[in-house]
A = this chain, B = another copy of it.
Amino acid sequence: MEKEKRRYSGQSFEDRQSDRRERLIHAALVVAGRFGLEGASVAAICAEAELTARYFYESFPNREAIFVEAYRLAQAELLGRMGEVAGRKAPVESALAGFFSALNANPGLARVFLLDLDDHGPAMRAASEEGAAKLAKAFVPAGGHPLLLAGILGAIVDIAKRWIASGFTTPVEEVVAIALPFTRVTSAPSKATRKAR
């Protein structure tokens, strides 16, 4: 009773299917970048991909599944660009520069990667925490108290958010200069902190 998988428009079934799948993931990233995950309805994603809901459910069991894939794609692009810039300057500084310029180059990606990460199911939460961990490793190779790491990463991410919200006024170099000191923050020695300088 196996259905016969025919060749169609010159492509095998597997080729067609994976093409559709990729088109959907890219479309999801585009739509989510434009309207947020909330606005990335199955219908909107399919329209962007020029496919219909049937093909959506051919490749994904539900909406959250494609969110995870879109997030992974965004993460890969982002880390890829961060890797490209690396080499010159100090590693942390170049990671920051790569991060911010990647966001500047693709704001939609930024939206998916930084905003809208709440309340989209357990799989998305897991995926985004994993992404945060990778970022943290790039910015703070050393490690330290988890709360300190959270603070450093939070500072960088929120700088990015405000930068995005302001429409990328402020050149990248300046943003890097503002963000860099946060990566050097270290736990305070409890008392005597020099008041004057």
Q: B147 contacts A159, CB within 8 Å?
A: yes
The secondary structure that dominates the A interface is helix
Residue A88 lies at the interface, judged by CB distance under 8 Å to chain B: no
Q: How far is the CA of A184 from the CA of B185 in the complex (A)?
A: 9
Q: How large is the interface on A (under 10, 10 to 19, 20 to 34, 35 or more residues)?
A: 35 or more
Q: A177 contacts B187, CB within 8 Å?
A: yes
Q: Which among A12-20, A23-31, A56-64, A160-168 touches the partner chain?
A: A160-168
Q: Which residues of B contact A180 (CB under 8 A)?
A: 188, 193
Q: A146 contacts B118, CB within 8 Å?
A: no
Residue A38 lies at the interface, judged by CB distance under 8 Å to chain B: yes
Question: Taking A152-B155, A155-B155, A157-B154 as contacts, is the C-beta distance between A147 and B170 under 8 angstroms?
Answer: yes
Instruction: Digitize A179-195: 1 where CB-to-B-CB distance is under 8 Å, 0 elsewhere.
Output: 11110011110100100
Q: B162 contacts A190, CB within 8 Å?
A: no
Nearest CB of chain B from residue A2's CB, rounded to whole Å:
43
A interface residues with partner B (beta carbon < 8 Å): 36, 38, 115-119, 145-148, 150-159, 161-163, 166, 170, 175, 177-182, 185-188, 190, 193
Cβ contacts A to B, 28 pairs, < 8 Å: A36-B119, A117-B118, A145-B178, A147-B162, A147-B163, A147-B175, A147-B178, A148-B178, A150-B158, A150-B163, A151-B156, A151-B159, A152-B155, A153-B158, A154-B154, A154-B156, A154-B157, A155-B155, A155-B158, A177-B188, A177-B190, A178-B188, A180-B188, A181-B186, A181-B187, A182-B182, A182-B185, A185-B185
